[in-house]
């Protein structure tokens, strides 16, 4: 009868056939399938998919270039958190953490015990902050709390010294870890895998400092965590501001620093915008159009109907009459194109971040449990399109956009090319900027004038010679005119 009803269902329609199929499934088979499904690891997607977590770089990313992955994603001085804890090469810093804890507690054992007890109370919440549960499970609550205490202590002591606060122990850092430990420390605390929950850091800061100092401790560091940024831009560390984190608190230090970097400045008044003709791109919807790049290199990218954007280098833009200008007030998502009658300007933020920090921020943006916007990723891709040769780097350096701390321009080009963008590209964030650039480059009048100035008139002597030649030509024409038609003949 079952087979007969199934045959009828084939004739009558698909709906009845589906019902017969469901009824025909054996109960034991359903039970076996249910048990098998429940035994599969699905916690990652069911319970924590809506929560940002501290995670490791996936193996398929590291396997693309293992040696470079180690240089970019692994700490070289100090381990922060459980992912790199206990590595033999980081043992010296592990011993130094105890000295930093003494400085944070003022050598008071009761204070240390109090700090430890407060962190131990949050051991369960700390575990939930890490995506790799099997690594965190190696440590019991007491060991995990001690790890968090020591790691937070060395970060706080480093920031304390960096800000030049009273009671700093810079000589201890130099004696124990070496004179070059500070740049390495900045690098290591900006690694995605080398993080502790930011709430643990804030908790220890609140217990160690007075209310006013505790409130400004991290903001002051965020505003000038790189010396070159403070020196060039003139950041006021005492009055630094950071984005509001009440609704969306940062999970770790790297995310908090990224928020400061990509924070949009206050919009200018309408009349100022009309005067400057600025076109600041909005990146609130940056994650809408993300697509995979082809494995074959392509020079064109569609940015609007009928307009395709060519990946033009800095020198190409200069030859077309587009000047590069640095603007310390711009964030990576606020690249601005200012059109002009003859010449235009491309305003870029000062590039003061190291490639390691940029790549870890990109990894945080594109990997699961990251953030909803791809600002740093899009900025990195835009800069990679601008820098194609050492001459491009030299031009950016001359205009104050890029800080070349390596000397060799070719090395800078190679480092920019090696920045891993995970094969992704965003089309919207700089859509208006790219469209305006392409419109300028397709204007014959502007490009001819730029070619005349940059290619033909390279020196003042060439300009003088050109002016003299034009003047001589005009005088010759006037002389010829008066020779053919003398004044007395024209009077008659």
pLDDT digits (tens, 9 = 90+) for 308-360: 566 789 998 888 888 899 888 788 888 999 987 778 899 998 887 888 999 99
142 membership: H or E segment, kind and range: helix 141-162
pLDDT of residue 404: 65
pLDDT of residue 6: 45
For the chain, the structural domain boundaries read 2-40, 62-262, 274-447, 457-491
102 membership: H or E segment, kind and range: helix 91-105
In whole angstroms, give the CA distance from residue 251 to residue 197.
6
For residue 255, list its beta bridge partners: none
Structure tokens at 139: 């440590």
Query: What are the distances in angstroms from CA 143 to CA 85, 116, 138, 139?
Result: 12, 10, 9, 6
pLDDT of residue 287: 36
pLDDT of residue 3: 45
- The helix/strand/coil state of 268 is coil
Q: Please check whether residue 148 is in contact with residue 130, taking contact to mean a CB–CB distance below 8 angstroms.
A: no
Strands (E), 362-423: none
Sequence-distant contacts of 156-163: CB under 8 A, at least 24 apart: 156/100, 156/104, 156/201, 156/204, 156/205, 156/208, 156/217, 157/100, 157/103, 157/104, 158/100, 158/182, 158/185, 158/189, 159/217, 159/218, 159/221, 160/103, 162/221, 162/225, 163/217, 163/220, 163/221, 163/237
Q: Are strands 322-326 and 344-348 parallel, antiparallel or unpaired?
A: parallel
In whole angstroms, give the CA distance from residue 16 to residue 23.
11
In whole angstroms, give the CA distance from residue 193 to residue 143.
19
Query: What are the distances in angstroms from CA 451 to CA 162, 316, 322, 444, 454?
Result: 49, 11, 11, 10, 5
pLDDT of residue 342: 74
pTM of structure: 0.76
Structure tokens at 394: 């030299």
Residues in Cβ contact with 258 at an 8 Å cutoff, skipping those fewer than 6 apart: 361, 364, 371, 376
Convert the pLDDT of each residue in 388-422 to its tens digit. 999 999 999 888 888 766 668 888 899 888 888 88
Q: Please check whether residue 53 is in contact with residue 41, taking contact to mean a CB–CB distance below 8 angstroms.
A: no
- pLDDT averages per 10-residue partition of the chain, 492 residues: 46 48 66 76 51 85 86 95 93 93 91 95 93 92 96 95 84 89 92 95 93 87 60 48 59 90 59 39 35 37 56 86 86 88 86 88 83 85 91 90 76 89 75 87 70 59 67 80 67 50
Phi and psi at 337, nearest 5°, equal -110, 125
Q: Please check whether residue 287 is in contact with residue 372, taking contact to mean a CB–CB distance below 8 angstroms.
A: yes
In whole angstroms, give the CA distance from residue 400 to residue 443.
28
Reference 82, options 63, 54, 117, 45; nearest CA is 54
Residues in Cβ contact with 118 at an 8 Å cutoff, skipping those fewer than 6 apart: 203, 207
């Amino acid at each position: 009868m079952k087979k007969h009803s199934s045959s009828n269902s084939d004739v009558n329609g698909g709906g009845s056939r589906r019902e017969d199929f469901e009824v025909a499934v054996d109960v034991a088979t359903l039970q076996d399938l249910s048990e098998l499904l429940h035994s599969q690891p699905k916690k990652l997607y069911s319970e924590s998919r809506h929560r940002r977590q501290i995670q490791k770089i996936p193996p398929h990313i590291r396997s693309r270039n293992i040696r470079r992955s180690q240089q970019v994603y692994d700490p070289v001085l100090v381990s922060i958190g459980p992912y790199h804890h206990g590595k033999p090469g980081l043992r010296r810093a592990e011993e130094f953490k105890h000295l930093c804890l003494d400085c944070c507690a003022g050598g008071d054992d009761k204070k240390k015990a109090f700090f430890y007890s407060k962190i131990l109370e949050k051991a369960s919440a700390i575990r939930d902050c890490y995506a790799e549960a099997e690594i965190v499970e190696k440590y019991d609550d007491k060991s995990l709390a001690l790890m968090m205490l020591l790691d937070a202590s060395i970060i706080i002591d480093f920031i304390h010294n960096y800000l030049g606060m009273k009671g700093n122990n810079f000589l201890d850092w130099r004696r124990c870890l070496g004179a070059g430990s500070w740049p390495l420390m900045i690098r290591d605390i900006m690694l995605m895998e080398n993080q502790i929950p930011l709430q643990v850091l804030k908790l220890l800061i609140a217990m160690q400092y007075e209310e006013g100092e505790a409130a400004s401790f991290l903001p002051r560091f965020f505003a000038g965590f790189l010396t070159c940024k403070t020196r060039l831009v003139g950041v006021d560390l005492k009055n630094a501001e950071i984005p509001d984190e009440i609704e969306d608190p940062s999970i770790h230090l790297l995310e908090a620093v990224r928020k400061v970097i990509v924070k949009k400045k206050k919009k200018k008044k309408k009349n100022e915008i009309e005067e400057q003709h600025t076109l600041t791109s909005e990146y609130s919807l940056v994650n809408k159009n993300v697509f995979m790049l082809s494995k074959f290199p392509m020079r064109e990218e569609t940015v609007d109907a009928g307009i395709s954007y060519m990946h033009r280098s800095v020198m190409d833009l200069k030859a077309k009459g587009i000047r590069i200008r640095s603007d310390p007030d711009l964030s990576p998502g606020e690249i601005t194109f200012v059109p002009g009658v003859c010449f235009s300007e491309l305003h870029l933020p000062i590039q003061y971040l190291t490639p390691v920090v940029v790549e870890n921020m990109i990894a945080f943006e594109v990997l699961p449990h990251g953030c909803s916007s791809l600002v740093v990723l899009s900025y990195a891709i835009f800069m990679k399109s601008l820098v194609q040769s050492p001459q491009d780097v030299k031009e950016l350096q001359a205009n104050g956009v890029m800080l070349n701390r390596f000397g060799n321009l070719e090395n800078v080009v190679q480092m920019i090319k090696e920045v891993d963008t995970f094969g992704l590209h965003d089309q919207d964030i700089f859509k208006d900027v790219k469209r305006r650039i392409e419109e300028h480059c397709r204007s014959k009048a502007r490009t001819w004038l730029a070619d005349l100035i940059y290619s033909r008139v390279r020196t003042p002597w060439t300009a003088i010679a050109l002016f003299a030649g034009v003047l001589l030509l005009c005088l010759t024409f006037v002389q010829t005119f008066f020779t053919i038609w003398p004044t007395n003949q024209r009077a008659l």
